[in-house]
């Protein structure tokens, strides 16, 4: 099982700050994204690559083939707007 943290607009859209995906680890960013898009079909666009950024263990991940291991901290969020 993979837990995915959600922030900002994405958390509001999906209505929760964390989702437990029934994906066996290890998996990939791509597979995690697809599982979320299938669970939240109405928000598939917001979850697409480029729209939803991924962080693994608090580091930005720009590689859709990156492996997610059991126990990794995974987060999904919109492009950042600080400053």
Partner 1 sequence: MDDIRVQRDDFSVADEYQQLCQDNRDDGAVVFFVGRVREQNQGDTISRLFLEHYPGMTERALADIVAAARKRWSLGRVRLIHRIGALDIEDQIIFIGVSSGHRQNAFDAAAYIMDFLKSQAPFWKKEILIGPTGETLSERWVDTRSSDTQARQKWDNPATPDSLP
Residues that bind partner 1 (CB under 8 A): 5, 7-9, 12, 55, 58-60, 75, 77-83
Least separation in angstroms between residue 23's CB and partner 1 is 22
Q: Which is nearer to partner 1, 38 or 63 (CB)?
A: 63
Cross-strand pairs, 28: 67
Question: What one-character DSSP code corresponds to residue 26?
Answer: S
Q: Which is nearer to partner 1, 8 or 24 (CB)?
A: 8
Query: Given strand 74-77, what is the order of strands in its sheet?
Result: 18-21, 2-6, 74-77, 53-56, 59-61
Q: Which is nearer to partner 1, 22 or 59 (CB)?
A: 59
């Amino acid at each position: 099982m993979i837990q995915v943290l959600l922030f900002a607009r994405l958390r509001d859209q999906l209505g929760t700050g964390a989702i437990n995906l029934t994906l066996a680890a290890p998996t990939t960013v791509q597979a995690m994204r697809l599982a979320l898009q299938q669970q939240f079909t109405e928000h598939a666009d917001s979850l697409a690559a480029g729209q939803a950024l991924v962080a693994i263990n608090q580091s930005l991940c720009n590689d859709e083939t990156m492996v997610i291991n059991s126990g990794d901290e995974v987060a999904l969020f919109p492009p950042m707007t600080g400053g």
